[in-house]
Amino acid sequence: MAEAPLLSVKDLVVEFPTRRGLVLRAVDGVSFELRQGEVLGLVGESGAGKSITGAAVIGLLEPPGRIAGGEVRLKGERIDQLDRGAMRRVRGGRIGMVFQDPLTSLNPLYTVGQQLVETIQTHLPLSPAQARQRAVDLLVEVGIPAAERRIDSYPHEFSGGMRQRVIIALALAAEPELVIADEPTTALDVSVQAQVIAVLKRLCREKNMAIILITHDMGVIAELAHRVAVMYAGRIVEIGPVRDVVKAPRHPYTRGLMGSIPDPAAEADRLTQIPGAMPRLNAIPSGCAFNPRCASVLDRCRRERPSARVVGSSEVACWLDDEQLRRSDLQAVVAR
């Protein structure tokens, strides 16, 4: 691959120092790359560190959380050490963000148009009239009917699905190269979810925009993502093309995760049905973090942490050898 990837995250570590002196590692050595126009799904149980990873990339960690190691590069240029002003220009300018809850993501006191125009003018040198025109165009693009009129409505005058479209329009205000979408459909009615997914898919294609798609919904992943990264306890355990990871998962954790969904393409199910629970951040087991729940656990797993290695078209972090990882009858998860 000659050209630099759009986004490259290497050995990212995010820590939260606590008041009692303990340091919690929410993200521990995460690496992945993203090409232009590529959609990367980020899945894993609640608390796996998906949102924190997204926030770290866009420089939105809430203090006391901080990037304690690794690097984030956008088109080869480091963005994890930029000063406030430069990072602010990256946010919204080159990387957009969509949050989960459309009901609370918009400021209730300003019209949709005011919020769009404000964002546009922050990043692009446009006159108020031009910015307003662009705002209308954006609303049309995300599929808001009668955009000319609706632009002067307040957020509470829109339905949930429409609001999420507005939020996508806001994220796209300055034509970012990358959008981080943190559970963009979770809070929506099922019927509306498909529409929002369709909008994202179309925009991604038309604008050659890359997306990091954080979700629990394998249906959404199957629909939208090109590759998937599976996170567990702050680490990526498996990353690879959607078809491989979903249809032929290698890592015992991924197997458990996928095993809980009969047919990923058909029925969207939540990923929380693996027996046992993910460890708390203050009690992550040494070695492979998954070892207390893993049925194939080896002695070594308790001592040494596996690093990612290429297995087929994916990368997997597990001590089992390739042979074992390929077996379809591998016992993955301890049944309780």
Ligand X SMILES: Nc1ncnc2c1ncn2[C@@H]1O[C@H](COP(=O)(O)OP(=O)(O)OP(=O)(O)O)[C@@H](O)[C@H]1O
Q: Which residues bind ligand X (CB under 6 A)?
A: 16, 24, 26, 44, 46-52, 62, 65, 281
Identified binder of other proteins from the candidate list 6, 74, 106, 138, rule CB under 8 A: 106
Q: Is 171 in the site for other proteins (CB under 8 A)?
A: yes
Name the minimum Å distance from CB 304 to ligand SF4.
9
Environment class of 233 (CB within 10 Å of its CB; exposed 0-12, middle 13-18, buried 19+): buried
Q: Is 89 in the site for other proteins (CB under 8 A)?
A: yes
Identified binder of ligand SF4 from the candidate list 41, 70, 155, 306, rule CB under 6 A: 306
- Rg of the Cα atoms in the chain: 21
Rank residues 16 and 32 by Cβ distance to ligand X and give the closer one.
16
Distance (Å, whole) CA 262 – CA 84 = 46
Rank residues 136 and 317 by Cβ distance to ligand SF4 and give the closer one.
317
Amino acid at 325: L
Site residues for ligand SF4, 315-334, by CB under 6 A, read 318-320
> Which tokens in the block code for residue 34?
């993203």
Rank residues 149 and 300 by Cβ distance to ligand SF4 and give the closer one.
300
Amino acid at 50: K
Rank residues 62 and 321 by Cβ distance to Mg ion and give the closer one.
62
Non-local CB neighbours of 132 within 8 Å, separated by 6+ positions: 113, 117, 151
Applying CB under 8 A, the site for other proteins has a residue count of: 47
Rank residues 142 and 222 by Cβ distance to other proteins and give the closer one.
142
78 has which bridge partners?
73
Q: Measuring CA to CA, which residue among 196, 113, 103 is closest to residue 148? A: 113
What size, in residues, is the chain?
A: 336
Query: Beta strands 314-316 and 309-311: pairing type?
Result: antiparallel
| Binding interface with other proteins (CB under 8 A) | 16, 18-20, 22, 24, 58, 60, 64, 84, 88-93, 96-97, 99, 101, 104-111, 118-119, 122-123, 150, 154, 156-159, 162, 167, 170-171, 173-174, 280-282
